[in-house]
Amino acid sequence: MDRTLVDAALAAAEQHGKDVAEVPLSAIAAAAGISRSTLLRRLGGSRARLDEAVREAGIDPGGRPPVRERAIAAAATLVARDGLGAVTLDAVAAAAHCSPTSLHAVFGGRDGLLAGVFDQYAPIVDLEALAADPPERIEDTVQAVYRALAEAFTREPRVLPAILGDLFSRPDGTAARMLKAGLPRMFGSLSTLFTAQIQAGRLRPLPVPLLIQLLFGPMAAHMLFRPVLLDALGDALPPVDEAARTFAEAFLRAAAP
């Protein structure tokens, strides 16, 4: 098969952020500078020949995760290993086996990519699910929040600790922009949970931002320092579930009426 058609298919796949098998023939034809009908004629009426030619060129025409998934995974690995400063579109494109152009098409730029990483590795989605279907008991609500927080801190690669590390060293840097973009969703979910508990008389009517800090502070600090504490203290450090119960009891003693 004419190599120009293979090159056009690869170019269209990168431009659209999809595998070759998922790119419409019209887009491939446009990349080749011909009409769709001409492309079909040159393919013998079936794109199977094109997919096979792409495969013979050493590239899988389909079956890989979408560019978005590959890019978020690659960026997360870079964040955890080398810090936020290492996350450039060129570096992520190389690690995700795509092009910077496809990253621009999918995310709109570096900030959009980092927002996708934050959404996946911070407890945003878990807290939104909890707010949509909250437990009846305040004790269960607090425990569920702590479970979500613990899972976010221990999720590999360890993105959330790296983000906080960047925030502490550069309060006006990339991590600060990520948090400013993602925190409204987290606070919205927690505000929904806390407001209902305040109205039910299970929590004191403290300002919700302070209640959230009172809830998050001890558990977040514990999870941030836990790897070092484990090395230093070993079995003397309680398991995560036991630590969460202890912090939950302390929170309720401070915040319950």
- Indicate the pLDDT class of residue 206, thresholds 50, 70 and 90: very high
Domains of the chain: 3-56 (1.10.10), 67-108 (1.10.10), 122-255 (1.10.357.10)
If you average pLDDT over residues 227-237, what whole number do you get?
Answer: 91
- What is the rounded average pLDDT of the residues 55-74? 80
Question: What does pLDDT average to over the chain?
Answer: 90
Residue of 13 and 75 predicted with greater confidence: 75
pLDDT value, residue 18 = 80
Q: pLDDT band for position 63 (50/70/90)?
A: low
- Pick from 237, 248, 80, 239: which is nearest to 164 by CA? 80
Does residue 66 have a pLDDT over 90? Answer: no
Please state at what angle helix 67-82 crosses helix 159-169, rounded to 10 degrees: 50
Strands (DSSP E) contained in the chain are: none
Residue 156: exposure state from Cβ atoms within 10 A (0-12, 13-18, ≥19)? exposed
Q: Above 80 in pLDDT, residue 57?
A: no
Asked if the model's pLDDT at residue 27 lies above 60, the reply is yes
Task: State the average pLDDT over residues 205-223.
Answer: 94
Residue 106, pLDDT above cutoff 90: no
Q: What is the CA radius of gyration of the chain?
A: 24
Single out the residue of 69, 1, 56, 63 nearest to residue 32, CA to CA. Answer: 1
Query: Does position 152 have pLDDT exceeding 90, yes or no?
Result: yes
Write out the two tokens for 249. Answer: 């009891």
Taking 90 as the threshold, does the pLDDT of residue 50 lie above it?
Answer: no
Indicate the range of 45-54, 81-90, 139-148, 182-191 predicted with least confidence: 45-54
- Average pLDDT over every residue of 79-88: 93
Is residue 64 within 8 A of residue 17, CB to CB? The reply is no
Judge whether residue 64 has pLDDT over 70.
Answer: no
147 vs 60, 126, 196, 240, 242, CA distance in Å? 39, 9, 20, 9, 11
